[in-house]
Amino acid sequence: MKLVQPKPIYILWLREMKTFVRAKSRVIGSLLMPILFLGFLGSGFAGVILPGLPSGVTYLQFLVPGMIGMTIIFSSMFAGMSVLWDRQFGFLKEIMVTPVSRVTIVLGRIAGGATTSVIQAVAILILSLFLGFQISGASGLLLALVFMVMVAISFIGLGLAIASRLKDMQGFGLIMNFIMFPLLFLSGAIYPMENLPSVISWVGYINPLTFGIDGMRGALIGASSLPLMVDFGVLVVFCAAMVFLGAYLFEKSEAV
């Protein structure tokens, strides 16, 4: 049996896409909070000179990449939750007894989850254009898409790793919220990292989401706290680690 099988990956990806298209309430719910943040914070602080903002960058320009990051990590929770749903309703057992490696199953779920996450992130980006957000250029947009994909894969891998060890959906939701909100608030998504106390800012710089949002900010508006190669390098390492961890723990998990 091959370790990685392209056709099952495609089938699992297609299933995730069909589920995404049919679950309209899920799509609306995942987009609502970033839209509210953009609408209220972006317009409310439009005329405020916030300490730590790069020169010539408005708060809306600063905020949009952070909201894209928020959209991606929130959607990662649904990718992990789907494992628990499939375990509860027996679908996970059915696919795990087929002659398909568990690595293939994980890659199929990551591919589907990453695609839906990036679609939602692009939707937020498009909506932000109507609020006055400006992209630095076409090359910056393509680079931002690369960062979106890496952030999506990383946190979907983390979500799958956690879901592999749990059977309770409520417990999974509590754990993911406990993880995601500190990651979000310590990533520079809503306010500049320079405004935080030095000890907390150092904690923020070991947060992988910080590098993802900083990379998207540098790609989209040309203003990043760190060199883009540093952001890219850290994300590549974290992304590979989360895919490996998710595959390893899923391999050890039980279908029931």
pLDDT at 1: 42
Handedness of CA 23, 29, 34, 39 (dihedral sign): positive
Which residues does 208 contact at the CB level (< 8 Å), separation at least 6?
A: 154, 234, 235, 238
With left for phi above 0 and alpha for psi between -120 and 50, is residue 188 left, alpha or beta?
Answer: left
- pLDDT value of position 45: 67
Q: Enter the tokens of residue 39.
A: 């609408």
Tokens for 190? 């809503």
Q: CA 125, CA 31: separation in Å to the nearest integer? A: 11
Domain that holds residue 94: 6-252
Instruction: Indicate whether 1 belongs to any domain.
Output: no
In whole angstroms, give the CA distance from residue 76 to residue 158: 8
Residue 105 has pLDDT above 70, yes or no: yes
Task: From 175, 146, 191, select the one nearest 81 (Cα to Cα).
Answer: 175
- What single-letter DSSP state applies at residue 186? T
What is the DSSP code string of 220-235? HHS--SS-HHHHHHHH
pLDDT band of residue 3 (cuts 50, 70, 90) is low
Tell me, yes or no, whether 83 lies in a domain.
yes
Domain-embedded: residue 33? yes
Residues 96, 7: Cα–Cα separation, whole Å: 15
How many other CB atoms are there within 10 angstroms of residue 222's CB atom? 16
Burial pattern 59-74, b for ≥16 Cβ within 10 A else e, equals bbbbbbbbbbbbbbbb
- Whether residue 48 lies inside any domain: the answer is yes
pTM above 0.85, yes or no: yes
Query: pLDDT value at position 253?
Result: 64
Nearest to 109 by CA among 250, 255, 224: 250
Q: What pLDDT score was predicted for residue 143?
A: 93
Q: What percent of the chain has pLDDT over 70?
A: 89
Chain segment 46-87, per-residue pLDDT in tens: 666 667 777 777 888 888 898 999 889 888 777 777 777 777
Range 17-29 average pLDDT? 76
Of residues 215 and 192, more confidence is placed in: 215
- At 175, the pLDDT band (50, 70, 90 cuts) reads confident
**pLDDT above 60 (res 256):** no
Structurally, how many domains does the chain consist of?
Answer: 1
**What integer best gives the mean pLDDT of the chain?**
82
Closest CA to 58 of 123, 120, 144, 128: 128
Quick one: pLDDT at residue 47?
Answer: 62
**Tokens for 186?**
């310590």
- Of residues 85 and 2, the one with the higher pLDDT is 85
> Using CA atoms, how far apart are residues 104 and 21, in angstroms rounded to an integer?
23
Record the tokens describing residue 225, joined without a space.
């706290």
Q: How many CB atoms lie within 10 A of CB 234?
A: 20
Whether 166 shows a pLDDT value over 80: the answer reads no
Calculate Rg over the CA atoms of the chain: 18
| 129 CB-side CA count, 13 A | 9
